[in-house]
């Protein structure tokens, strides 16, 4: 982990250039020198803004999930609401509540931070911030921007571990979000 004392030293970046730009991320070519051998190597890094996801739970104990088509796997996935932190968002918390309302039509007053992780530190420096939304209530119909389209599905919170075990929930960041929730519940007992 960063800051730990170790015999391994960090690589030294000696060059950086933007190779490709998309609306979601940029591809950077990074040239770095090995602290062990002194040789330089080329690496490719995806530069993206921070992401958020949020676990909306209704007062009756149902999780508000979304089903959507994902082009990477060319299939539908079962997930929690989430997305990118936009420049207009005051904080990751605000981004999470915005994404929840846009994708599900559910709103909430109580939002609790659960944790933050690096989605893939081998290729990315961004973080995914996870929140819990208690007392989620239907407030409006989902509003879709661009290519996004979701279907809202309510599942009892107690059923989530089975949905993960059976692969119905297979998105790694969603699985981590429920892990964060489990750690919170474990700490409170």
CATH of the domain at 179: 3.90.79.10
Q: Are residues 34 and 84 in the same domain?
A: no
Q: Are residues 94 and 31 in the same domain?
A: no
Structure confidence at residue 109 (pLDDT): 86
Q: What is the mean pLDDT of each run of 10 residues along the chain (189 residues)?
A: 74 97 94 96 97 98 97 96 96 97 95 97 96 97 84 97 98 98 89
How many domains does the structure of the chain reveal? 2
Q: Are residues 116 and 84 in the same domain?
A: yes
Q: Are 175 and 78 in contact (CB under 8 A)?
A: no
Closest by alpha carbon to 47, among 35, 30, 60?
Answer: 30
Residue span of the structural domain in which 19 resides: 12-47
Q: Are residues 85 and 29 in the same domain?
A: no
Q: Are residues 126 and 152 in the same domain?
A: yes
Q: Are residues 56 and 143 in the same domain?
A: yes
Q: List, edge to edge, every strand of the sheet that includes 40-47.
A: 12-21, 26-33, 40-47
Residue 93 lies in a domain: yes
Q: Are residues 105 and 176 in the same domain?
A: yes
Q: Are 152 and 142 in contact (CB under 8 A)?
A: yes
Q: Rounded CA gap, 58 and 96, in Å?
A: 16
């Amino acid at each position: 982990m960063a800051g730990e004392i170790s015999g391994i030293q960090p690589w030294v970046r000696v060059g950086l250039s933007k190779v490709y730009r998309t609306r979601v991320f940029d591809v950077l070519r990074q040239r770095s020198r090995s602290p062990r051998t002194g040789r330089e190597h080329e690496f490719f890094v995806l530069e993206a803004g921070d992401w958020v996801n949020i676990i909306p739970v209704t007062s009756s104990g149902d999780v508000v999930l979304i089903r959507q088509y994902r082009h990477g796997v060319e299939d539908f996935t079962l997930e929690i609401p989430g997305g990118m932190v936009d420049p207009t968002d005051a904080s990751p918390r605000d981004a999470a509540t915005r994404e929840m309302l846009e994708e599900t039509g559910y709103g909430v007053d109580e939002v609790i931070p659960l944790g933050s992780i690096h989605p893939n530190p081998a290729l990315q420096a961004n973080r995914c911030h996870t929140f819990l939304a208690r007392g989620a209530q239907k407030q409006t119909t989902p509003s879709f921007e661009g290519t996004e389209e979701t279907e809202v599905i309510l599942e009892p919170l107690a059923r989530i571990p089975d949905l993960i075990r059976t692969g119905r929930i297979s998105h790694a960041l969603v699985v981590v979000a429920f892990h964060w929730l489990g750690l919170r519940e474990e700490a409170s007992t």
